[in-house]
Amino acid sequence: MTRAGAVPDNTAPDNTAPERTGPEHPGPEHPGPEHPGPEHPGPEHRAPANPVKCVVWDIDNTLLTGIYLESGDEPPGADPVLAAVLAELGARGILHALASRNPPEAAAHTARVTGWRFAAAECGWGRKSDALTRIAATLGIAVDALAFVDDDPYERAEVGSALPGVLVLSPEEAAEAPGWPEFSPPVITAEARRRGEMYAERQRRQEAGRSFGGTREEFLASAGTQVTIAAATAADVPRLAELAARTRQFNSAAGRPPAQAGDAAPPGGDMTEDWFGGLLSARDTDVITVRLRDSFGDDGMVGGCVITRDAATWTVPLLMMSCRAMGRGVIDALLAWLTRQAARAGASRLLIPCGRDGRNVPLRLALAAAGFRVPGPPPAAYQRDLGTAPPALPGWVTAPGEPGGGTA
């Protein structure tokens, strides 16, 4: 609060000249002649480890062309270059949030002048690294999926030091960000384009949930939750590949040791559109999609799985869900449906190979809650006993092979 006025403009190092830091972030005009073209993608040229899912923006002298509290009756307008960056990244499914040493009115003003609906806003006088941590928690994404843009080198240093996984940028660097791989998701689906809106719906849903008196199941039912499980079609393939690339907390193949013998899935990260497309016509293989909607909004396809069947064993080489759908009964419904279908088909075993690390704890919890255990040593495969009574499927789930499925 005091620093903004205390630092004279001409001594702030980054206010004088756009400074490109980090040779690992070449702008689009420096493609590097030694790089092989995209038609020769070696294994090391996969998507970057941390694609940015949300950009957290400072307001004063960053998104606005001045300082909100020092501008009297007429607050400053939007920086036109960065407003265009907001729109370009937003169209790619990247979220935007605000972290500002300002009263909340500054966030409302910024939303108005940039024409952007921010998925989260932290206004206050605490550390910005704490604000980023809260934004990540609110949006249900990992801190290292954030980028942070601020004109103040002190704030950038604070965030960079407290949260080393965050991509920290000056406004000048942010202006170039649309050309960088971290901001260039390989596929952009209808779900991605609506992502900003869906997070706003999520905020309204969470507020309603907090004021709701009953259990979670009662809230899901009262919100008109509808989970639809269905066989995938060719039109679903881009979104399936996008989910496979973007999900981590709920992705049974991510973090798994590559190349297990007899594994139908390629090592994590190679689940391309071609791979999914090929599975659609493969024998004894099902590709399944899961869609979610309720009275607050339509989240589209939020999950899916691949099933390979033989007489005795159903194996699920990939089970995935967007973390946006966490807490809404989706993964539980999918696991219950898989169990019911495998049992009904007469299989004796249902296997879900899944590594176990610190990042997929939510999926491991869902598997444990659904009665899955890992009986043997690594490589880990979760198993469920199919001899017991099948788990119930809530009435708001529509799924193939389920008696009530067609009427929900």
- Candidate list 5, 216, 257, 385; residue touching another protein; CB under 8 A: 216
Q: Which of residues 250-269 bind another protein (CB under 8 A)?
A: 250
Is 287 one of the binding residues for another protein (CB under 8 A)?
A: no
Closest distance to another protein from the beta carbon of 161 (Å) = 20
Q: Which of residues 221-250 bind another protein (CB under 8 A)?
A: 250
The sheet carrying 146-149 orders its strands as: 120-123, 95-100, 54-57, 146-149, 167-169
Q: For residue 101, which of 130, 38, 59, 133 has the smallest C-alpha distance?
A: 59
- Amino acid residing at 92: R
Closest distance to another protein from the beta carbon of 298 (Å) = 21
Calculate the CA dihedral of residues 194, 197, 199, 202 and round it to 10 degrees: -120
Q: For residue 69, which of 121, 10, 2 has the smallest C-alpha distance?
A: 2
Is 356 one of the binding residues for another protein (CB under 8 A)?
A: yes
What sections of 177-271 are H helices per DSSP? 190-193, 195-211, 216-222, 237-246
Is 215 one of the binding residues for another protein (CB under 8 A)?
A: yes
Is 1 one of the binding residues for another protein (CB under 8 A)?
A: no
Q: For residue 149, which of 178, 174, 124 has the smallest C-alpha distance?
A: 174
Cβ of 165: how many Cβ atoms within 10 Å? 12
Per-position b or e across 302-325, b if 16+ CB within 10 A of its CB: bbbbbbbbeeeebbbbbbbbbbbb
- Give the burial class of 111: count Cβ atoms within 10 A of its Cβ; 0-12 exposed, 13-18 middle, 19 or more buried: middle
Nearer to another protein, 237 or 253 (CB): 253
- Candidate list 77, 277, 327, 394; residue touching another protein; CB under 8 A: 327
Is 397 one of the binding residues for another protein (CB under 8 A)?
A: no
The span of 36-44, 286-294, 300-308, 354-362 binding another protein (CB under 8 A) equals 354-362
User: Parallel, antiparallel, or unpaired for β 313-321 and 167-169?
Assistant: unpaired
Nearer to another protein, 331 or 347 (CB): 331
The site for another protein, by CB under 8 A, has a size of: 23
The span of 48-56, 208-216, 285-293, 340-348 binding another protein (CB under 8 A) equals 208-216
Q: Could you say which DSSP state residue 63 is in?
A: I
Nearer to another protein, 89 or 336 (CB): 336
Q: Rounded CA gap, 73 and 83, in Å?
A: 22
Q: Are 273 and 238 in contact (CB under 8 A)?
A: yes
Nearer to another protein, 25 or 134 (CB): 134
Closest distance to another protein from the beta carbon of 139 (Å) = 14
Q: Are 126 and 106 in contact (CB under 8 A)?
A: no
Q: Which of residues 149-168 bind another protein (CB under 8 A)?
A: none
The span of 9-17, 190-198, 211-219, 223-231 binding another protein (CB under 8 A) equals 211-219
Is 379 one of the binding residues for another protein (CB under 8 A)?
A: no
The span of 21-29, 237-245, 290-298, 364-372 binding another protein (CB under 8 A) equals 364-372
Is 368 one of the binding residues for another protein (CB under 8 A)?
A: yes
- Candidate list 78, 366, 393, 399; residue touching another protein; CB under 8 A: 366
Nearer to another protein, 77 or 140 (CB): 140
- Give the burial class of 115: count Cβ atoms within 10 A of its Cβ; 0-12 exposed, 13-18 middle, 19 or more buried: exposed
Q: Are 221 and 283 in contact (CB under 8 A)?
A: no
What sections of 115-229 are H helices per DSSP? 128-139, 153-162, 171-176, 190-193, 195-211, 216-222
Is 373 one of the binding residues for another protein (CB under 8 A)?
A: yes
- Candidate list 4, 69, 326, 408; residue touching another protein; CB under 8 A: 326
Is 369 one of the binding residues for another protein (CB under 8 A)?
A: yes
Is 46 one of the binding residues for another protein (CB under 8 A)?
A: no
- Candidate list 52, 290, 363, 381; residue touching another protein; CB under 8 A: 363
Nearer to another protein, 347 or 366 (CB): 366
Is 210 one of the binding residues for another protein (CB under 8 A)?
A: yes
Is 377 one of the binding residues for another protein (CB under 8 A)?
A: no
Binding-site ranges for another protein (CB under 8 A): 210, 215-217, 250, 326-327, 329, 331-332, 356, 358, 361-366, 368-369, 373-374, 380
